Amino acid sequence: MESTRRKGFFSRHEVLMVFLIGMCLLMPSIWSETSITGQDEYWLSFRTPMETLEHGGWFTPWVNGEPRLKKPPLLYWAIMLTYKIFGIGPFAARIWGVFSGAALAACACLLYRELFRKSGLLAGLITLGTLTVAIEGRRAMLDLPLALFTAMAVYYALKWGRTGRMRWILISAFSLGLSFLVKGPVGIILFMVAAFSAVWVFKKWQFLMAHWPQVILALVLMMAIILPWPLAMSHLWPEFSKVLNNEVAARGIGALHVGSSFSTLGGAFGLVFPWSLILFAGLVYALRHARHPSGRIDLWLCAWFFGCVVPFFFIRGFARYMTPLIPAACVLCASWLNHGTGTLKKVLLRISMTLLGLVSVLFCLFFIWFKVGVPAAIVSLAAVGLMLWLTYSGKDDRTIAISVGVLLMLLMGVLYPSLKINAMPENLDAIVGSRPVASFDSSQPSMLSIRLKRSAHRIRTSSQADLNQLKTFKGFVFMSVSEAPSFEAHAKKLGVRFDRAGEFKTFFSRQAWIRFARKDATAEDWKEAVKNRTLADLKPTICYYRVGS
């Protein structure tokens, strides 16, 4: 009797459980300067809310001394709010990534329950056990919030399609409006793919026609959320349309990128690593059972997945742009695992977890060899062993999934930060004080703005207006040591007084979080580092000058 009550409690609260587990798994180290980051995070997501607050307004986002019109402002507004509550720092900015990752997993759980009328716990745990969520959930980026609002829109549209109740389609429209305010029309496009494929697979044309007044009302609500910001920007900033056109041109939208099509497809499967093989099996199963009435749900998930991949054949971008595909992929993975009980399921699970285990062991051995974060590496190796034991002993899929989430948390949230990538001297803020700061021809050091709690602007040699700022600049200018000769030459040419105030060595993220050694490091440098078991000589040097009187 007690066991039945306990199962009933967990069944009623499994969505909340998934969300809380996600918060716990994604939270570690988000407050640290050495946690996972990337250029878009530290140069845009951190600084845009800072500069917007410095301007004293909120409706127009600002960065680099000019309006930030390329992207809608919802995430920046959210970070401004947490900057106000918690103070400017990595935690205040990244907490929205944690929330979005945990909520996305909860949404995958809800989607599975809505589709199959069964527990969605496995779908939620698989979502938390994907490498993409483990990384992006620790960063202040646009992609996970976009995925969350898109998934919410799909979920509530499904509830509307089942019940016909107007409130569900209005919540769906509200979610779509928020997705636009995060990253423009991408979420709406991907939602339309999911929606029309659902109408096709589930034969809902008559239902759609019968409820057209509700559809019109939902469109009105969505447009009421979407339109005010771009219309206001068009009125306040005449260059707004030009900025959008340049953004479209930069992404190559409309042209088929044949060479990158296979990498796009590979990136879509890579989003859910280590569950990629399970996803492939789920897609094959869905296509093989497409004509069977019981296979319609899997067929729709398959259509949703592939339908959302296709637009990215026509867009230049990163794999993380396809993050909204994750709920469809994870629900399909959970569906296939729940369907299968045979040898193939065991084999694919074992191969998948073994691949993750091998990558994780190599990752841990790297740290142990270089004598960095050794205790965390040992604990991570123990987690690898536990995950493989659970897999090969045939334990419940949900137990395996949560062990994957714990392992990724240890690797990304505990072990990786011990490399001290992007670390700066502890007393740097005391050295700089309240003086203005800038970086010269680079965005380094990456955590300078978040440490000083004010935006460090970039002085570009390609811009004469930027160089002219040096004439009146009185503060500190930071740069990679390789840029120092160029800085000194330009400063002398402009008649600017400067003194070299200091330097320090630190790894920093170059575009991707995994690239951290100095740019000119050769194979021989790496061999020497391995031989001596130290990474010290691979650290780039950052120097800084005091400029002006």
DSSP element (H, E) containing 475: strand 475-480
Mean pLDDT of 253-276: 76
Mean pLDDT of 51-73: 90
Residue 398 has pLDDT above 70, yes or no: yes
Mean pLDDT of 493-511: 87
Mean pLDDT of 256-284: 83
Question: How does the average pLDDT of the chain come out, rounded?
Answer: 90
* pLDDT at residue 190 in the model: 93
Residue 261 has pLDDT above 90, yes or no: no
Residue 234 has pLDDT above 60, yes or no: yes
Burial of 96: CB neighbours in 10 Å, binned 0-12, 13-18, 19+: buried
Among candidates 399, 339, 356, 414, which has minimal Cα distance to 125? 399
Mean pLDDT of 201-215: 93
* pLDDT at residue 275 in the model: 97
Give 37-67 as a 3 state SS string.
Answer: CCHHHHHHHCHHHHHHHHHCCCCCCEECCEE
* pLDDT at residue 324 in the model: 92
Query: Poorest-confidence range of 39-53, 244-258, 426-440?
Result: 244-258
Contact 225, 178 (CB under 8 A): yes
Phi, psi (rounded to 5 degrees) for 186: -55, -50
Q: What single letter denotes the amino acid at residue 79? A: I
Q: What is the pLDDT of residues 134-148, one digit of tens each?
A: 999 999 999 999 999
Rounded Cα distance between 524 and 461, Å, is 32
CA 172, chain centre distance (Å): 23
Mean pLDDT of 156-161: 96
- Find residue 437's DSSP bridge partners: 476
* pLDDT at residue 393 in the model: 94
Mean pLDDT of 379-383: 98
Question: Looking at the whole model, is its pTM more than 0.85?
Answer: yes
Residue 253 has pLDDT above 70, yes or no: no
* pLDDT at residue 513 in the model: 66
Q: What is the pLDDT of residues 86-116, one digit of tens each?
A: 999 999 999 999 999 999 999 999 999 999 9
Helix axes 374-392, 343-369, angle to 10 degrees: 170
3-class DSSP state for residue 545?
strand
Residue 166 has pLDDT above 90, yes or no: yes
Rounded Cα distance between 172 and 131, Å, is 28
* pLDDT at residue 317 in the model: 65
> Which has more pLDDT, 133 or 292?
133
Our separate counts of H helices and E strands in the chain read: 27, 7
| Percentage of residues of the chain with pLDDT beyond 90 | 71
Give the position of tokens 């569906």.
Answer: 335
Rounded Cα distance between 216 and 222, Å, is 10
Q: What is the pLDDT of residues 504-533, one digit of tens each?
A: 999 887 666 677 888 888 889 999 999 999
